[in-house]
A and B are shown apart, each in its own frame.
Chain A
Amino acid sequence: MSVRSGLLALLAEGEKYGAQLRTEFEARTGGTWPLNVGQVYTTLDRLARDGLVETAGAPDAEGRIAYRLTPAGHTELGTWWSTPVDRSSTPRDELAIKLALAVTAPDVDVQRVVQTQRTATLRHLHDLTRLKREALPPPPGAAQARAAVDAVTRLGALAEPRGAGDNGLAWLLVLENLIFATEAEARWLDHVETMLARRTATPASGPTASTTTHATEPSTTANRTESRHEPAVVSTNPGGEHS
């Protein structure tokens, strides 16, 4: 993708200068993917080489050159909008690799690795949620309005383009994307922990073990699970059955 297709999308709205493309790309993706001007011009050069954009006349008085889409560029952009993003090539995920190695490596406290990661993941989720809360349109009410004012004060100019309108929505969508991904990681870590606990709780099942303990194994597991519960909690909690 991405920078390339992003610039095509912006140019479909009309002629733009390089610096202008950079500013708009960042504003409309919530500043999550900052570009440098060099990246923008390199990409524009490549797009021009491929016949997808062209310069729109001579440089202006300040020496700036405007770019516009060619018909081929319009076609390319249409293809991008209508084609799903390719998810089949799985990127290497350091965390997945780390845990895969941890469960098979001797002398590694996997539970600790999981917990340390989850704490970091939750902290990240907390920070993202805080940004989201500040980006949400303030409903009527003093507290929310003040939170929005605080956010603008603290983030300074950075917060301003995110305040309202389409750019505000774009920023929220990007934030939600990061939040969903981080939440998925936290849930996966919970899942890993549960799997590890079950693996530890289940007796080793060699050929002999599986034939001799087959009948009793489920009840043994059930007993162990039950012993982790808090029977008295339910009776003292008028509101719910969660432990």
Chain B
Amino acid sequence: MSTTPHVVLSDVTRVHGSGETAVTALAGVSLEIFPGELVAVMGPSGSGKSTLLNVAGGLDRPTSGTVSIGGDTLTDLGPRDLAKLRRRRMGFVFQDYNLIPSLTAAENVALPLELDGTRARAARRQARHTLDLMNLMELSDRYPDQMSGGQQQRVAIARALVGSRRFVLADEPTGALDSHTGEEVLRVLRDRCDEGVAGLLVTHEARHAAWADRVVFLRDGVVVDTTGHRESPEDLLAANEAAR
């Protein structure tokens, strides 16, 4: 794993509204995500999970503090540059897949590239390459209604990471899937991160957060705890045996 973080949130605060009705969604959150690292965010409803995701993804601006992606500070960018950075450098995965029903999987995956000015044929070629990389080629000509939920979500991950995007943000990506299919989707996300992508995953399922390298707990807009992890699974076996 690289020693330079790909995503850096420094002392980020986000206050919605003002005066007496102001609600502090994030209160001084700092977070780094390295290339190859998947970070899960957990916390009760209203703890600021989605605000954190939106701020990290440039969909929302912090009231104070800074957010940088790959060395570029989002908070310094104007709306047009910010939109461009979002199109080129990061991808979003949502609970309800958000694939365009009238486009095939390959066309859906190619869409962000085409929107960014890549010619249709080149975009389609890149899309197929990404689908191939993720073992999804068999789905490339299918329309969303010809795919299961799990398949659609895997295509959505391919769309989020097509081209040169190295940061994926996923908001409850397994929320609409059964437990087994949800795990298959996480396995795909995990594999992408193992290939060097930085990932931020919001989930309320401990079972799914466990696929991340680190879990950050939010409560009332504050990071209350973070899990690290042991160096290797052998330590776990040793710990089990020692406890016996």
| Interface residues of A, Cβ cutoff 8 Å to B | 31-32, 34, 115-116, 118-119, 121-131, 133-134, 136, 139-141, 143-144, 147, 154-155, 158, 179, 182-183, 186-187, 190, 193-194, 197, 227-233, 236-240, 242-243
Contact = CB atoms under 8 A, between A and B. Distances in A.
B206 A239 contact: no
B96 interface: yes
A126 B210 contact: yes
Contacts of A128: 210, 236
B227 A123 contact: yes
Contacts of B125: none
A231 B16 contact: yes
Contact of B206 (A125, A141, A158, A193): A125
Nearest to B229: A126
B178 to A, nearest CB: 15
B98 to A, nearest CB: 6
Nearest to A155: B234
A122 B50 CA distance: 20
Interface majority SS on B: helix, strand, loop or mixed? mixed
A187 B206 contact: yes
Contacts of B236: 124, 127-128, 131
Given A139-B135, A233-B54, A243-B50, A154 B232 contact: yes
A183 B50 contact: no
Contacts of A240: 50, 94-96, 171-172, 175
Interface of B: 16-17, 23, 25, 42, 44-51, 53-54, 59-60, 92-96, 98, 134-135, 171-172, 175, 187, 190-191, 194-195, 202, 204, 206-207, 209-212, 215, 217, 220, 224-230, 232-237, 240-241, 244
Contacts of A123: 227-230
B217 A144 contact: no
Contact of A115 (B135, B212, B217): B217
B207 A179 contact: yes
Nearest to A125: B210
Nearest to B194: A143
A154 B233 contact: yes
A232 B16 contact: yes
Given A127-B236, A230-B51, A232-B17, A243 B45 contact: yes
24 contacts: A31-B237, A118-B225, A119-B227, A122-B206, A122-B209, A122-B227, A125-B206, A126-B229, A130-B233, A133-B187, A133-B211, A143-B191, A158-B237, A190-B44, A193-B44, A229-B23, A233-B25, A237-B53, A237-B54, A240-B171, A242-B49, A242-B50, A242-B172, A243-B49
Contacts of A237: 50, 53-54, 59, 171
Contacts of A116: 225
